[in-house]
Structure formats: C-alpha cells, structure tokens
Chains A and B, each alone.
Chain A
C-alpha cells in the first residue's frame, strides 16, 4: 500500500473506538485483531486519534493476555462478567482476595483501597498501610469508594451474602462499568478454581498455575492419605473456636478442613454451623485431639508478634478446665493451639497440614507444615518474614 493511503486508512480505522469495548477495536466486532492494534498504536504514537496512553496500554494488555478477545469469567456467586480491559484501580473488601492477588504477583500498586482489617495488618500487608481504608464489608465507606473511582471491587461470595449483594448493587449504580468480582478464597473446595479465575482476570495465568500446583500438592497429599482411613478409625477431635465451648459443624469452612485432615468431629451433626456445646458433652465425647483456635481481633500471635507464651497460656488454661484431665487428648498431651491466620483464610492449607500432622503423626512424617508456610511467605507472598524468629502460629 502507498504510504499516504496507509496513513489515511490507519487514521480512519483508529478513529472509530468503542467506549465500552476493547480500546482500538475499530470495527466494533468485540475482537481486537493485530491490524487494529497496530493501527491504534501507530495513530497514538504520532499524536492522532482519541486513544490515550492508557487506552493503548490496555489494548496491548488485552492483545497479549486475552488474545485480543474479551474475557468471560464466572465468579463464585455464579455471575458471569465480561472483561474488556485489565484491572487498574482495584478495591478489595476481602483480605483473602487481597492475599490471593499478591500470591499471583498482581501489581499491588493497582490496589487503591483495602478493607479495614487488611489495613490494620501492617505486618502482613505492609504495602497497604498507606492505601485508602474503605471500612469493612459489613460497614463499607461507600462515599470513599466512589471518590476513588475503582474499576474493580473484590467482595465475598458466600458469606454475609445479602450485605455483599447490597454493596454490589450500590457500586454498580454509582460507578458505571465497574466490575464487581466475588470470591471467598478460604474454602478448599473452591479455592483452586478461584485462583485460576482471578489469575485469568489479572493476566497472571502462569503464576496462577504455579500457585495452584503448590496449593494442591499440599492438599492432595493430605487428602490422599486420609481418604483411605475408615470412619471408625478416624481421630476424634474437639475443635474449639475463639469463644469457649463454641465449635463448628457441617457446612462451615473449618469443618471442611478438619475433614480433609482426617478428623472426626463429634459435633459435626449440630444444626448450627457454629454451635455452642455443653461442657459435659465435650467430656462425654472424650476427644483424642483437642485444637483451640486463637487470633481473634489481632490478639497475640500470628503475624503480629512472636508471643508464644500467650499461645502456651491458652493451651494451659484449656487443660485445666474442670474434668478435662480425664480426656484422652489431655492425657496423651495432644492439645494444640492454632492461630486463625493459617487456618481461617487463604492460608488454610498450612493450617490443614498442621491438623493432619497432629491427627496422624505416623502417616505424615514427611509433611513439614512449617516449611510449607515459609515457602508460601517467601515465594508467593514475597514477604521477608522468618518463621524461625518471627510470628507464633501453633503451640506446640
């Protein structure tokens, strides 16, 4: 083609830009082909056309990561979203989603605001201390969010569903074109798929594959080993929540993790997900292993500080409860304290490894939860955090 004609053709092609579709998709067919991308880029380079630098960067991104096509994803609520641009200004209402984004190597500079709990976790999310705080998903600062003009917001999928639905509706009404992505990121059954979906949405597919491989290597190792244990040979476990005599039953995330680790929960059949148990019933159940959860409201331990004495005191107090000296778990010295940082959220695979090891020490001699934890922090979270000297997550 003669150059003057080529110039005119490029300018004409690049002039037609869909405002909502992929930038540079001149023919509006929803796909950015190579010719369209080049035309858009050249037109921008010589200072013509309406596309901004960000538009061209978005076009290059879509061309590179999604082969020039819109990406359709389904989140954990079942809603389908069609993405035509990368996520640039992200707000997270879920610390688990935030942590997963970091595992995937997402550019944390593109996270413009976080929930108040993540904001407070300055040891684990040091890069978020200076970001905007938009409150919790239970009490969101909607005005603040609107002023930040995010293009994507991460919310929980299956907890406090009505509240999250309401937030989503307000966001979609207030910010046209916003993408509300809902994932839990704490449930073993759905986490691998959630990682892959978030990885696709953020263009971090390779890293997503690495992280899923790491995660499933741990969880599959545990599942494979415990799958063959007959129900009547499973270790009987009393797992106590933060509150005394509060445990969990079928349907809760903790029960799922306990089940994967091969534990038998004598209170699994309670009607409430988090039932309060009569102290006498615990004694009657005579658990072989007792696990106490700690870490409520950034209390001692976890990533906050190396307060092993606090975990030790929690364990000691449990063993001194009236009548507990007779329990098999106390008598056999199989009482453990675990911090919710490594069992309740995205790090549940680390906590599950500890549970498996406690329930079946002979079956998991090769399983090293501490090494798994350290690898996760160093390799996937990019944190300079030495477990040999910092933090307190389990006792003993």
Chain B
C-alpha cells in the first residue's frame, strides 16, 4: 500500500498528466498585448495556431468588450454578438483587436476545431480587467457550451478534495 505522501504525489502527478489532455490539449494558445487595458483602450489578441491546414477558432469576449478589427481576411471572419469566428488555413497566427469598456472584467474564452485532423478543444481562458479592477459582469454574455462542458472546474475540485483528504490523513 502506498503511504499518504506517496499517494498525494501520485494523485498530483496523475492530475498534471490528465488536466492538459482532458481540459485543453489544444494546439491553439492566446496571448494579449495587455490583460489590464485602460478604459476604452484597444488591445491586441494573438492566437497562435499549431499545425492546422483546415480548421476554425471561435472566440467569445466578456460582456462590454467589443471586437475592433482584424487583419484576417473578411470572408474568413464572422462576428455574431460577442462571438468572433475565424476559419484557419495553415496560418501560424491570427490577430484581432478588442476595445475595452469603461470598466469591467471577465474571461476571453475560445474553442478550436481542426477539421482535417477531426479534433477539437478549448483554448485556455484569458482574464482581462479594465485597469486591473475586478468588476462582476452585468448582463454579460452567457457561458459558451465549451465553458459549460469544460472539465476543468470538476477536475480542479476533485484535485482539491484529494489533496484535502490526504492532508488530513497525513496529520492523523
């Protein structure tokens, strides 16, 4: 039988292995020119796309934040409310601009689809807050399916429970 400390390490290692694969495992990553834009500031979002000959990315902005433009071709970009969809055809990077509201914070969330490889997944959310001030969204966009289906919160909770249980067990 494994000792508690060994058990804890085992579960941690297991979670570290599982989390990236289950929750994301994505070939797409997002970076922001700033995560704390000023009121009304336009900032840049860059999506690094891995090897994806034919695919797509859908980004969803927090409530109050608005799409401000992209270099991506018009006929490969579609805006629906807070959602911005891009088709991907071997691009390494897709860049778009977002205008911050007067105040507000939230996550930019996204999903990717690799139609050729028949794979799909989520992009790690990016948190933004005007001037770094956390303000709960009022009337912001509802969570996407991707957010709702994300196993990350569940796995994080399970990890917490394991760690808590074994931490207590270790003191007895």
The answer to whether the Cβ of A217 comes within 8 Å of any Cβ in the partner chain is no
Which residues of B have CB within 8 Å of A35?
A: 75
Evaluate contact between B53 and A53: CB separation under 8 angstroms. no
Which residues of B have CB within 8 Å of A10?
A: 78
Would you list which residues of chain B between 51 and 91 have a CB under 8 Å from chain A? 53-58, 74-80, 83, 85, 87
Nearest Cβ on chain A to B68's Cβ, whole angstroms: 12
Evaluate contact between A41 and B79: CB separation under 8 angstroms. no
Nearest Cβ on chain A to B3's Cβ, whole angstroms: 37
Secondary structure class of chain B's binding surface, majority of residues? strand
The distance in angstroms between the C-alpha atoms of A46 and B80, with both chains bound, is 7
Closest B residue to A58 using CB positions: B115
Evaluate contact between B79 and A64: CB separation under 8 angstroms. no
Evaluate contact between B115 and A38: CB separation under 8 angstroms. no
Evaluate contact between A41 and B56: CB separation under 8 angstroms. yes
The answer to whether the Cβ of A318 comes within 8 Å of any Cβ in the partner chain is no
The distance in angstroms between the C-alpha atoms of A38 and B56, with both chains bound, is 10
Which residues of A have CB within 8 Å of B76?
A: 38, 42
Q: Contacts A46-B78, A56-B115 given; indicate if A64 touches B85 (C-beta within 8 A).
A: no
Residue from B57, B80, B120 with most neighbouring chain A CB atoms (10 Å)? B80
Nearest Cβ on chain B to A46's Cβ, whole angstroms: 4
Which residues of A have CB within 8 Å of B55?
A: 60
The distance in angstroms between the C-alpha atoms of A44 and B87, with both chains bound, is 10
Which residues of B have CB within 8 Å of A38?
A: 75-76, 87
- Fill in one digit per residue for B108-119: 1 if any A CB lies within 8 Å of its CB, else 0: 000001011010
The distance in angstroms between the C-alpha atoms of A312 and B87, with both chains bound, is 63
Q: Contacts A57-B115, A60-B115 given; indicate if A7 touches B54 (C-beta within 8 A).
A: no
Contact partner, A64, options B77, B80, B116, Cβ 8 Å: B116
Which residues of B have CB within 8 Å of A64?
A: 53-54, 116
Nearest Cβ on chain A to B35's Cβ, whole angstroms: 25
The answer to whether the Cβ of A6 comes within 8 Å of any Cβ in the partner chain is yes
The distance in angstroms between the C-alpha atoms of A45 and B77, with both chains bound, is 10
Evaluate contact between B87 and A45: CB separation under 8 angstroms. yes
Which residues of A have CB within 8 Å of B78?
A: 6-7, 10, 42-43, 45-46
Closest B residue to A39 using CB positions: B75
Which residues of B have CB within 8 Å of A61?
A: 115-116
The distance in angstroms between the C-alpha atoms of A63 and B115, with both chains bound, is 11
Q: Contacts A3-B79, A6-B74, A35-B75 given; indicate if A45 touches B56 (C-beta within 8 A).
A: yes
- Fill in one digit per residue for B125-162: 1 if any A CB lies within 8 Å of its CB, else 0: 00000000000000000000000000000000000000
Chain B, interface size category, equals: 20 to 34
Residue from A42, A47, A56, A61 with most neighbouring chain B CB atoms (10 Å)? A42
The answer to whether the Cβ of A138 comes within 8 Å of any Cβ in the partner chain is no
The answer to whether the Cβ of A317 comes within 8 Å of any Cβ in the partner chain is no
Closest A residue to B84 using CB positions: A46
Would you list which residues of chain A between 14 and 68 have a CB under 8 Å from chain B? 35, 38-39, 41-48, 53, 56-57, 59-61, 63-64
Which residues of A have CB within 8 Å of B75?
A: 1, 6, 35, 38-39
Evaluate contact between A63 and B54: CB separation under 8 angstroms. yes
Which residues of A have CB within 8 Å of B118?
A: 57
Evaluate contact between B74 and A3: CB separation under 8 angstroms. yes
The distance in angstroms between the C-alpha atoms of A64 and B89, with both chains bound, is 11
The distance in angstroms between the C-alpha atoms of A394 and B85, with both chains bound, is 60
The distance in angstroms between the C-alpha atoms of A56 and B114, with both chains bound, is 10
Closest B residue to A7 using CB positions: B78
Nearest Cβ on chain B to A36's Cβ, whole angstroms: 11
The distance in angstroms between the C-alpha atoms of A269 and B87, with both chains bound, is 64
Closest B residue to A1 using CB positions: B74
Nearest Cβ on chain B to A32's Cβ, whole angstroms: 12
Contact partner, B116, options A7, A45, A48, A60, Cβ 8 Å: A60
The distance in angstroms between the C-alpha atoms of A47 and B82, with both chains bound, is 13
Nearest Cβ on chain A to B80's Cβ, whole angstroms: 4
Closest B residue to A43 using CB positions: B78
Contact partner, A42, options B53, B56, B115, B120, Cβ 8 Å: B56
Nearest Cβ on chain B to A56's Cβ, whole angstroms: 6
Nearest Cβ on chain A to B163's Cβ, whole angstroms: 37
Closest B residue to A88 using CB positions: B118
Evaluate contact between A42 and B79: CB separation under 8 angstroms. no
Q: Contacts A57-B115, A57-B118, A61-B116 given; indicate if A46 touches B74 (C-beta within 8 A).
A: no
What are 9 A-B contacts with C-beta separation under 8 Å?
A1-B74, A7-B80, A41-B115, A45-B56, A46-B78, A46-B80, A47-B80, A59-B115, A61-B116
Residues of chain A touching chain B, judged by Cβ–Cβ distance below 8 Å, are 1, 3, 6-7, 10, 35, 38-39, 41-48, 53, 56-57, 59-61, 63-64
- Known pairs A7-B79, A41-B87, A45-B85 / 11 extra A-B pairs, C-beta < 8 Å: A1-B75, A7-B80, A10-B78, A38-B75, A41-B115, A42-B78, A42-B87, A46-B80, A46-B85, A56-B115, A63-B54
Q: Which 9 A-B pairs have the closest CB atoms?
A: A60-B115, A45-B85, A42-B78, A60-B54, A46-B80, A45-B56, A41-B87, A46-B85, A57-B115
